[in-house]
Amino acid sequence: MPVLVILIVFAFSFYLFYKVKFYRTRKPMEKQWLSAKSSMALGVFVFLFGLNQLFLFHSTVSLVVGIIFMVVGLASSWAGYKAYKHYLPHAAKEAREG
């Protein structure tokens, strides 16, 4: 599935983009906000990688590993989303004041 490969590359690119922005900023709340966004991107990457495993290989081990990756990816994305929603008002306030 070439569509999954393209989405995997985009998700990993967003992860790298947010990590670079995380290390370049000096504001603490913006750091946490960017960390949450990178966590969501990494979760999407891991989820899509697990989904891709299900389509590529048709063995029991691949099925188990793919499902584990998908669960871990969803959990990471969910935790990142919750952190994103928490830090967004703080980062906006910090940006207005600074």
Supply the pLDDT for residue 2. Answer: 87
Q: What does the DSSP assignment read for 63-97?
A: HHHHHHHHHHHHHHHHHHHHHHHHHHHHHHHHHHH
Q: What local confidence, expressed as pLDDT, does residue 38 receive?
A: 97
Burial class of residue 23 (count of CB atoms within 10 Å of its CB; 0-12, 13-18, 19+): exposed
Tell me 59's DSSP state. Answer: S
pLDDT tens-place string over residues 56-83: 888 999 999 999 999 999 999 999 999 9
pLDDT at 57: 84
Q: How far, CA to CA in Å, does 90 sit from each of 41, 45, 72, 82, 83? A: 21, 27, 27, 14, 11
